[in-house]
Amino acid sequence: MAAKSAPRLKLVAGPVKTFVGAADTVTVETLAACCDAVGGARVRTAADWALPRVAGQALPGGEPVESHALATALMVADLGLGPDAVAAAIAIPAATLPEAELTAVLGADVARLALGVARMRTIESLSGRAHTRLAVDARARELENLRKMLLAMVEDPRVVLIKLADHTQTLRAVVKSADTAARTAAAQLALDLFAPLANRLGVWQLKWELEDLAFRVLEPEVYQGLARRLDEKRGDRERYIAQVIATLEAELKDNGIRAEVSGRPKHIHSIWKKMQRKGVDFEALYDVRAVRVLVDDVKDCYAALGLVHHQWTPIPREFDDYIAKPKANDYRSLHTAVIGPEGKAVEVQIRTREMHQASELGVAAHWRYKEGAARGGRRGADERTAWLRQVLDWRHDVADAGELASEFKTRLLDDTIYVLTPEGQVIDLPAGATPVDFAYHVHSGLGHRCRGAKVDGVMVPLNTRLKNGQQVEILAAKTGGPSRDWLNASLGYLQSPSARSRVRQWFNRQNLEHAVAQGRTVVEKELARRGATAMPLDRLARALDYEKTEAFLADVGRGKLGPRALELAIEPPAEAAPADEAPRPARRPAKPAGGSGILVVGVDKLMTVTARCCKPAPPDGIVGFVTRGRGVTIHRADCANVARLDRDRLMPAGWGERAAEAVFPADIEVEAEDRTGLLRDITEVFTRERINVTATNTASRDLRARMRFTIEIADRAQLSRVLTEIRRVRGVVRAAKRS
């Protein structure tokens, strides 16, 4: 990334680590020179657009906005984040336009980074609001901004690294500011949120500076006391460290290990925390005097450790192997403490050069920022997963922080989880969400067809609760829909209200389609029965005050619109006769209902159906029962079910003249000794009598055959003849009508 003519910026050793270059000496050309020609042009474009817009403005601590932007960009360049990140750092103060407009001016990558960091400033807006009760809508908006901020962090690590540099520069400026409130707020924010985040990401350069500067503001007397104690012994310590370095270099060289040995400055906040944690005084700390050994590979790390322990006596319980077992933020190194020359304790850190680069720059050391670097593929998805988990582990670091961090954690991290697709895309879901919620968040169609899920490559039940940082893969069918079990809250398949709503909509749509199909069948049959098949359905719907034909058919299918209403819509009643004409009779003569041969007294052309319980046939006495949506059901007068029916809905009925032309169903039972050819002999009886058989059910047990037939007969006389003929069949014991 950096041009050959522009050497990388170096760090100055000291109690507080700072970058070379004061804010008031940084220029746009200095920053452009850190990039190649194309990158330098992007940096100049961002500066030409942004800096005039903030000219003359100052931050709450008094620092000019222009100087702040350039100094932040200098740190970003030193972190090696690339020209887009440097340009974004310059443009952040002016990034108030919509994303489309920023993209047109700065390019998509620079605009996305600048807006991502600008959203992160929402965290700072919480400062001073910890005790303020916001309106419900304001809290909702702020929570949404926080979610967008965290999503920006996990989508591109450069966003959070730029923000860390931005806040570090803010702290540098406010350390000597007269504005006590601004100074205290920036320092507390650093300790509560940003220093833990830098620690989680392993960016030690920024972590140490954030902690020391914040400590200097919040505990000035303690800070100055420790700084004086370090300064008082600086000369002796430097001479002592030089002696240790010379001894180690000679020992390593004699054993063929190529290494760099240097003194390691200890930052003040770390010394104070260790004193508090161990309950010891400054003099009892082992790592005030410390050296670092950088070697070529892991094998040399352990070889160097052996030489150190051979040269000096190790101090018990002061050895840590972070190579075999790295820290949560991927920090790797060997730590040991020994009794060195003159009987003084010395801490020795041993690591490879690659480990050292990672420990100094953290995620910035190994994330691929350069243009053209592959973002997809399995490796890219794995890196994104690891990164997301690192960022989300930040919640544990701020769990016991101040009120501001506690509010941030409660409002952002406790009610939302962040998971990844197999391609590495970050999805935010409500806490407790399941793979089904995840599928519906990605796409409604995927949710409907979801049949299984893998979490981190392992098959899990669909009601498994997802956790932060997990990678979710949905197994879907080609067709199909959701399960009704998903709407059962006790089974725990759905947590997201939007997913639950989509499942309900799917079932409502399916129920509607079924009701429409049922209604269409009923209406078409009624039109055919009345010889009105040419009548358009939409006209029939309008006649019944329906704006949409689909709604009309659905109500018919659900039984909300009965046959009488259809009848009146198809054949409206005639207009009243003129006064000089003879009045029509009050009641029409009974007519056959629908050609069935059944007369229902007082009702013309009413749809009828014979009851399945008694299957009446001429000359049985019959009675009609008015049903909802099915016309009149005809029962035998002596049917046992009639006594239990609502008598107000019973109506007289009888067989009409056309009954002789109709056929009626009847159930008969036959019991016989089982033998070969029995069923054939019985069916021959039906054939001779020209009787149609519509259903047959036979069973044999213990050499006894039991048969049931549903046949169509014209009257009782025909039924009697058939039963008589069946009884004559060899082996038949009993043949009777089923009551």
Residue by residue, DSSP assigns 418-480 as EEE-TT--EEEEETT--HHHHHHHH-HHHHHTEEEEEETTEEE-TTPPP-TT-BEEEEE-SS-
Residues of the chain with CATH 1.10.3210.10: 11-218
Mean pLDDT value of segment 298-308: 94
Residues of the chain with CATH 3.30.70.260: 664-737
Is the per-residue pLDDT at 364 higher than 70?
no
Which pLDDT band, with edges at 50, 70 and 90, does 320 fall under?
very high
Least trusted range by pLDDT, from 6-10, 32-36, 540-544 = 6-10
Residues 230-366: name the CATH superfamily.
Beta Polymerase, domain 2 (3.30.460.10)
Residues of the chain with CATH 3.30.460.10: 230-366
Mean pLDDT value of segment 247-265: 88
In this structure, the strands spanning 650-655 and 664-673 are unpaired
Is the per-residue pLDDT at 261 higher than 80?
yes
pLDDT of residue 419: 80
**CA pair distance 110, 105, nearest whole angstrom:** 9
pLDDT of residue 516: 83
pLDDT of residue 323: 92
Is the per-residue pLDDT at 299 higher than 60?
yes
Is the per-residue pLDDT at 531 higher than 60?
yes
Q: What percent of the chain has pLDDT over 70?
A: 74
Higher pLDDT, 541 or 337: 337
Residues 677-689 pLDDT 10s: 888 888 888 888 8
Residues 420-462 pLDDT 10s: 788 767 777 888 899 999 999 888 889 999 999 999 889 999 9
Residues 453-489 pLDDT 10s: 999 889 999 999 998 768 899 999 888 888 888 988 8
Which pLDDT band, with edges at 50, 70 and 90, does 405 fall under?
very low
DSSP 200-250: HTT-HHHHHHHHHHHHHHHSHHHHHHHHHHHHHTHHHHHHHHHHHHHHHHH
Evaluated on CA atoms 112, 414, 410, 135, the torsion sign reads positive
DSSP 63-117: -BHHHHHHHHHHHHHHTT--HHHHHHHHHGGG--S-HHHHHHHH-HHHHHHHHHH
CA-closest candidate to residue 232, choices 276, 176, 288:
288
pLDDT of residue 567: 75
Is the per-residue pLDDT at 582 higher than 70?
no
Mean pLDDT of all residues belonging to the chain:
76
Least trusted range by pLDDT, from 8-12, 277-281, 327-331 = 8-12
Is the per-residue pLDDT at 137 higher than 70?
no
Mean pLDDT value of segment 219-239: 74
Which pLDDT band, with edges at 50, 70 and 90, does 176 fall under?
confident
Residue 387, H or E segment: helix 377-392
Range among 235-249, 278-292, 332-346 rated most confident: 332-346
Q: Is the pTM for the entire model greater than 0.75? A: no
Torsion of CA 698, 701, 705, 711, to 10 degrees: -20
The gap from C-alpha 444 to its chain's centroid, in whole angstroms, comes to: 12
Higher pLDDT, 705 or 375: 705
Mean pLDDT value of segment 143-152: 52
Which pLDDT band, with edges at 50, 70 and 90, does 386 fall under?
low
In this structure, the strands spanning 290-295 and 345-352 are parallel
Which pLDDT band, with edges at 50, 70 and 90, does 387 fall under?
low
Is the per-residue pLDDT at 365 higher than 90?
no
Residues 84-133 pLDDT 10s: 989 999 988 888 777 788 888 888 888 888 888 877 765 555 444 433 44
Range among 230-234, 255-259, 523-527 rated most confident: 255-259
pLDDT of residue 389: 58
Q: Which two tokens stand for residue 229?
A: 């104690």
Q: Which two tokens stand for residue 514?
A: 């079924």
Question: Which CATH architecture is the domain 664-737 placed in?
Answer: 2-Layer Sandwich (3.30)
Is the per-residue pLDDT at 232 higher than 60?
no
Least trusted range by pLDDT, from 175-179, 316-320, 359-363, 400-404 = 400-404
Mean pLDDT value of segment 274-291: 69
Is the per-residue pLDDT at 142 higher than 60?
no
CA-closest candidate to residue 71, choices 9, 118, 114, 23:
23
The gap from C-alpha 306 to its chain's centroid, in whole angstroms, comes to: 50
Is the per-residue pLDDT at 396 higher than 70?
no
Least trusted range by pLDDT, from 112-121, 301-310, 651-660, 712-721 = 651-660
Q: What is the CATH number of domain 11-218?
A: 1.10.3210.10
Helix (H, G, I), strand (E, B) or coil at 600: strand
CA-closest candidate to residue 336, choices 356, 317, 361:
317
pLDDT of residue 208: 83
**CA pair distance 554, 537, nearest whole angstrom:** 13
**CA pair distance 517, 522, nearest whole angstrom:** 9
**CA pair distance 669, 711, nearest whole angstrom:** 11
Is the per-residue pLDDT at 354 higher than 60?
yes
pLDDT of residue 322: 92
Which pLDDT band, with edges at 50, 70 and 90, does 35 fall under?
confident
Which pLDDT band, with edges at 50, 70 and 90, does 540 fall under?
confident
